[in-house]
Amino acid sequence: MKRLDEIKFAGKKVFLRADFNVPLSKDGKVTDDTRIRATLPTINKILNDGGRLIVASHLGRPKGKPSLEFSLKPVAETLSELLNKPVPLAPDCIGETVQQMIQNMKDGELIMLENLRFHPEEEKNDPEFARSLAKGIDVYVNDAFAVSHRAHASVHAIVRFVPECAAGYQLQQELDYYHRALEAPQHPMGFVIGGAKVSTKIGVLEHLLPKCDIMIIGGAMANTFLKVLGKNVGKSLVEDEYLNTASSFLEKAKTRGVEVLLPEDVVIAPSQESDPGDCRQVAIEDVPDDAMIFDIGEKTLARWRDVLSKCKTIVWNGPVGMFEKPQFAKGTMELAKFIAGLDALTIAGGGDTVSALHKAGTYEKMSYVSTGGGAFLEMLEGKELPGVAALKNCGRDVA
């Protein structure tokens, strides 16, 4: 798989798959340009080297039909402002008009294609649609990590019809940090995992067990493990069908000598809508039958801080409490501040985790924050992403 710096872009037509699936206001303005800014180094490299850049992305869920609501026009306008140069928006992503626009481009110029998902063939990974996207293209660059776990035409099938491919800077950075954290980590290595369900994270737990020294489990998914250990979790969310799975996992961890830490004390309330005055902190042994667990307690936080302070590598996925509610946010907020302040390689990913880091004001202090939600999770499970695997099959059908 080639890196961006290995490609000579001068005079070449370059198809860049970006992830510009950004939030828009009701009046159609980009409200968060983080994803656009993340791709600027790749865009500037190609343009500065004299490439003719065709930028492609999806936006929202238009269900395979053109829709003004999901037009990339606001994205093209924002990118134009960031680059301080025109970014014409094509009326479609394929077709004669688009081809004419591409043919008229000069070195160092760029255009943006209209929403890829206006065509149902994009999500179907249709080879003929991919061939149309690739028409006349010299180089394909993937800088859309967040969609690289999807086998879509612009991420997967397209590489067969382009003679040269490379990973963009952002995608390469994701892969490099993954390697540093999980393929060649400095030990002790700690993994913090939270979120709601064991069912969505068991693949991650199983894959990371041989790689880490310490595993901290929080959030609602911890309740299933606590119940296995005979703790009363009241009316809290528990996946009873995963009790045997959780029990088996704890046995494997014990056999491997991996320390698994669960909450020792918790913040409880009658429901998630309870007022702060109805919330209280209790030892895990003292959770009443009519209460629900929504956050970790002070003793747990202190214990986790102590253990994590000894780690040289920390990977975090998933909040350890219902941080969206102020009365249940302390555990996740304090943990975010602590991890971000450590002298260690600290990597976080997942939509809720990223939101928590922003809320805690520690996003910039982490060693690296992944731009992908589902893609980050699949990498933690040890799966090769279709978009990454595809880059190795570049040009297979070109001849």
Summarised one tens digit per residue, pLDDT across range 290-312 is: 999 999 999 999 999 999 999 99
**CATH architecture of the domain covering 175-366:** 3-Layer(aba) Sandwich (3.40)
d(CA 321, CA 201): 16
13, 35, 150, 227: which one is catalytic? 35
Span 318-348, pLDDT tens digits: 999 999 999 999 999 999 999 999 999 999 9
351, 373, 383, 395: which one is catalytic? 351
Answering whether pTM is above 0.85, one says: yes
Query: Quick check: 399 pLDDT over 60?
Result: no
Q: Give the position of tokens 């003292």.
A: 286
**Catalytic residue list contains 35:** yes
Identify the bridge partners of residue 55 per DSSP, sorted by sequence position.
Answer: 16, 112
CATH 3.40.50.1260 in the chain is located at 4-167+385-391, 175-366
**Catalytic residue list contains 361:** no
Closest C-alpha to 59, from 94, 19, 90: 19
From residue 268, give the alpha-carbon distance in Å to each of 9, 187, 272, 288.
58, 35, 9, 9
d(CA 351, CA 362): 15
Q: Are 264 and 297 in contact (CB under 8 A)?
A: yes
**Catalytic residue list contains 219:** no
Average pLDDT, the chain: 95
**Catalytic residue list contains 231:** no
Q: What is the pLDDT of residue 258?
A: 96
Phi and psi at residue 282, to the nearest 5° = -140, 160
Closest C-alpha to 174, from 390, 371, 386, 318: 371
> If pLDDT is split at 50, 70 and 90, which confidence band does 6 have?
very high
> If pLDDT is split at 50, 70 and 90, which confidence band does 397 have?
low
**Domain 4-167+385-391 part of CATH 3.40.50.1260:** yes
Closest C-alpha to 291, from 281, 301, 299, 300: 281
Span 9-32, pLDDT tens digits: 999 999 999 999 999 999 899 998
Q: Is 214 helix (H, G, I), strand (E, B) or coil?
A: strand
131, 197, 303, 305: which one is catalytic? 197
CB burial readout 158-178, b (16+ within 10 A) else e: bbbbbebbbbbbbbbbbbebb
108, 234, 374, 395: which one is catalytic? 374
Phi-psi sector, 62: left (phi>0), alpha (psi -120 to 50), beta: alpha
